Homo-oligomer: A and B are copies of this chain.
């Protein structure tokens, strides 16, 4: 677990469905702390959208101004970025990836502010933020649904945590597999130039797939079985 504490802040959200959906995605990515600034009332629909994350809704802290946020770093999100230095209020905007790169190793409390569904964060709110973030979208229709914006930022933040589920097989194993394949190709009397080219092509395919140990063993099993069969047929023939 990272030592960074993340707080999600929704500023004057208007639809309880969005608040519920935000609570759900927070729980999906293992975040707990939700702060609501002057939110709409949360009814049955909002609770339904929260699904198994009602505890996050119920424990949400309700405040009336962003000045009450207790965090060391305020990150503001916006769907409009400044085009250049002339717009010092909105420039530069980081991408979510750049944000996590910047926060890597930070120890402390970070609040990420998401604005109103229609007007986003006001300029005086953006002015108080230490970092601005914008998700790169299609200029034809840049405004993400509120809970989608939260989902994407939290998804990126969750990458800061430890990763790696898929254990790939070791380099030595791949080399061993290639040797066996080379021997099989010899037995199939591939002409040398063709054999090398074919091996290279297979090597690339296997490389791109980044094999698991199981998959490596399966491929070895297939090659072994072919070679054994060739051998026994040859012996029968002689």
Interface residue SS majority, chain A: helix
Asked if A28 contacts B237 (CB within 8 A), the reply is: no
Complex partner residue of A148 from B135, B148, B187, B188, CB under 8 angstroms? B148
Answer yes or no: A145 CB below 8 A from chain B CBs: yes
Answer yes or no: A64 CB below 8 A from chain B CBs: no
Question: Which chain B residue lies CB-closest to A210?
Answer: B208
Residues of chain B with a CB closer than 8 A to A27's CB: 138, 140-141
Given contacts A136-B158, A206-B209, contact A201 B215 (CB under 8 A): yes
Residues of chain B with a CB closer than 8 A to A165's CB: 81, 93, 136
A24, A29, A135, A206 interface centre (most CB from chain B within 10 Å): A29
Asked if B212 contacts A209 (CB within 8 A), the reply is: no
Question: Which chain B residue lies CB-closest to A156?
Answer: B155
Contact with B along A126-168 (1 / 0, CB 8 A): 0000000001111011111101100110010011000101100
Given contacts A85-B213, A92-B166, A151-B152, contact A25 B225 (CB under 8 A): no
Answer yes or no: A75 CB below 8 A from chain B CBs: no
Complex partner residue of A204 from B98, B215, B237, CB under 8 angstroms? B215
Asked if B166 contacts A93 (CB within 8 A), the reply is: yes
Asked if B233 contacts A219 (CB within 8 A), the reply is: no
Q: Which 4 A-B pairs have the closest CB atoms?
A: A85-B214, A233-B233, A30-B138, A148-B151
- 27 inter-chain pairs at a CB distance below 8 angstroms, sorted by A residue, are A17-B17, A25-B145, A27-B138, A28-B138, A28-B148, A30-B137, A49-B145, A84-B214, A92-B212, A93-B166, A98-B166, A102-B208, A136-B163, A151-B152, A188-B225, A188-B229, A190-B225, A198-B218, A201-B214, A201-B218, A202-B219, A202-B222, A205-B205, A208-B209, A233-B233, A233-B236, A236-B237
